Structure 1
Amino acid sequence: MKALLSLLALLALAAAPAAANDTMAELKAGGLTFVRSPDVEMTREALFISPTEIRVDYVFTNTSDKDVSGLVAFPMPEIGGDPYANVALDDTETDNYLAFTAAQDGRAVAVNLQQRAEAAGLDVTGDLVARGVPLLPYAEATKAALEKLPAEVAGDWISRGIIFVDSYDDDGTGMKDHRTPLWTLKSVYWWRTTFPAGREVAVQHRYRPGVGGTVGITFLEDGAGKGERFEDYRKRYCIEDDIVRRAVQSEKDMAAGKSYLVENWISYVLTTGANWSGPIRDFTLTVDKGAPENLVSFCGDGVRKTGPTTFEMKAKDFYPERDIDILLLKPMAAMQ
């Protein structure tokens, strides 16, 4: 994807306004990985990305004369215990926080979930499990379990960088100390499979993207397209002059109390496709923009509009050299 194309389109994504300085971090998830084998190639990949769902349909082919068995894995985005991060998760009370599902040859796969908690570069999973502390840092059950820790255990965990004490007023009754996670959760879904000799195997997986966002426009400086963040956006999202003009106008509209644009981001880790033998023989990317009322910009090669809400990119013998980052600018009603 060396020739970069920026797409300008309108998108409707219903959402409630957030606080004026609220920012969410998008979660980068992506495709399947497999123990490298020279005998299994990714024959086809059809990738569909929208703000509400990511669908990936693969066809793998065992080109050898013997069966190939191994592990297929889906790494979930890492969840860090940053107390000041506003992570884009719809459900923080379940291990499967992106609602991941998988199927092979049309049948649901019973996937295994491996989760590890790390702090200061060390595995602290056993410490948390032994004390009944859930591994997902942002879960309410995690906060409750940390408050119940004996003082000597909490002191030890603070010294080891597993937790720290944060002070804030969470209920309007004054400042209080709260034991807060610092560990990082690493999760991988996996299953064992066999690719029969000389045959194709279809694999599908679905999940809900962790859409990040912020209120207003963040890539302008002094009301113009310049500065370090702007250059980063140009590289990551391939934004062009039309996007910049609309963003500049949006800042003026927001100052005048009119409807304005806010940012959303979706990221997909495409480069894991390089773990398979050779290139992706037949690759299709579809970006669905929902409805024609927002702006969308992303990098692609030979992208064309295929419907009222969809854009498509096709490639043969495709080597994924970069991940997919999508910028959405959606209009919000003026704040009263």
Structure 2
Amino acid sequence: MRIYRNLVLKPSILLRLSVLALASGLSVARANDSIAELATGGLVLTRSADIEMRSEDLYVSTREIRVTYHFFNTGPQDKTVTVAFPMPDITVKGPDDNISVPTENPENFLDFSTRADGRPVTTRVEQKVFAKGVDRTAELRKLGVPLQPALKATNDALDQVSHAQWGELSFMGLTDTEEFDDGSGVLIHLRPRWTLKTTYYFEQSFPAGREVVIEHRYKPSVGYSAGTALGSRQAAKESWYKEYQRKYCMDASFFGAIERAKLVAKSDFPPLEEQRLAYILTTGGNWAGPIRSFRLVVDKGDPQNLVSLCGDGVKKIAPTQFEIRKSDFIPTRDLDVLILTEHPQQ
């Protein structure tokens, strides 16, 4: 194992899509107010034996994810295939489900955009709502309720639904009720309890014997905790702590930096906040053969931030950036990134 400043390297591990919340700086218990990240990924092509991926260049940060693909049609005929970008499912089951959604756009909630050979691509979107395993999209559209359950606009629209319809919506598993004071007194509010599935897609032509460059970018869903219990001996005995060690490949170098932060702060807990990113590498593979050239750059945002992730062959290329290059790469594991940042000055 090679250790770089603020980066710990170990073999890759499998991403688990559910996210465990960490504790705030005042407690070693897992916090209720943590915000969970959504695991996102790249493009998915309809399977083709003739289209190979010559290269993939992936940039991951808390501000933006950018991916550039170089595809080549090795076959004797032009191919037109469906290219899809499956957005992560958004599920709200209860009042404690806090999900990081970077925009208020009910359809393009990750601000996703695509270009093919330098030209903007017009994508279509398919959205479906499920509750108790049944497609309930039509019911919500009829009521004029946004399909994205984690938006303020959705809650506002549900507040306008007639009380006479509450029972039916609850029976379908679409909604539940919560009682709280929103500034106008204690009232009972209708709240979403459904899953939204979203896919962006477009048709792309791949001329025989030619390369096609597809680029896409979007704002990531960044998990967040206002503090961290990492470095706590008591928390180290808990199952979520071991999962963090496995998921982010943290070791003595990373924990040493946390201990130094605690000493400077003269506190049992480090003055650090968590940011978490998850990227699904394994959604690909519907092209011919491995990725000839794969490049990953992880940007931790600030030179003082601590970052831990799993990988091998990492090279520090800038004060905040770390690079992994692979040849003939077949993705079999996904990427998780943990970034610890200093508490903002009050």
In the superposition, the TM-score normalised over structure 2's length comes to 0.87
How far apart, in 2, do the equivalents of 1:74 and 1:132 lie?
26
Shift of 1:301: 1.5
Residue 46 (structure 1) aligns with? 57
SS at structure 2 position matched to 1:217:
coil
Residue 144 (structure 1) aligns with? 156
Higher alpha-carbon deviation: 84-93 or 216-225: 216-225
Residue 15 (structure 1) aligns with? none
Residue 62 (structure 1) aligns with? 73
How far apart, in 1, do the equivalents of 2:329 and 2:72 lie?
16
1:211 is the counterpart of 2:222: yes
For residue 115 of structure 2, the aligned residue among 103, 109, 115 is 103
Shift of 1:224: 6.3
Change (3 A) 1:19 1:230: closer
Change (3 A) 1:224 1:5: farther
Residue 20 (structure 2) aligns with? none
Residue 175 (structure 1) aligns with? 186
Conservation of the 8 A alpha-carbon contact between 2:25 and 2:227:
no
Residue 9 (structure 1) aligns with? 6
Shift of 1:149: 2.0
Conservation of the 8 A alpha-carbon contact between 1:6 and 1:300:
no
Note the residue ranges of structure 1 that are not aligned, 5 or more in a row.
Answer: 11-17
Q: Please report the RMSD computed on the Cα atoms of aligned residues, expressed in angstroms.
A: 2.4
In the superposition, the TM-score normalised over structure 1's length comes to 0.89
CA offsets 1:115-134 (integer angstroms, 9 cap, x no match): 11111111100000111111
Residue 87 (structure 2) aligns with? 76
Conservation of the 8 A alpha-carbon contact between 1:43 and 1:281:
yes
Higher alpha-carbon deviation: 218-227 or 312-321: 218-227
Conservation of the 8 A alpha-carbon contact between 2:35 and 2:224:
yes
How far apart, in 2, do the equivalents of 1:60 and 1:92 lie?
33
Shift of 1:142: 1.7
Residue 154 (structure 1) aligns with? 166
Conservation of the 8 A alpha-carbon contact between 2:229 and 2:235:
no
Residue 118 (structure 1) aligns with? 130
Note the residue ranges of structure 2 that are not aligned, 5 or more in a row.
Answer: 8-23
Shift of 1:68: 1.4
For residue 243 of structure 2, the aligned residue among 190, 209, 232 is 232
Shift of 1:283: 0.2
Higher alpha-carbon deviation: 90-99 or 202-211: 90-99
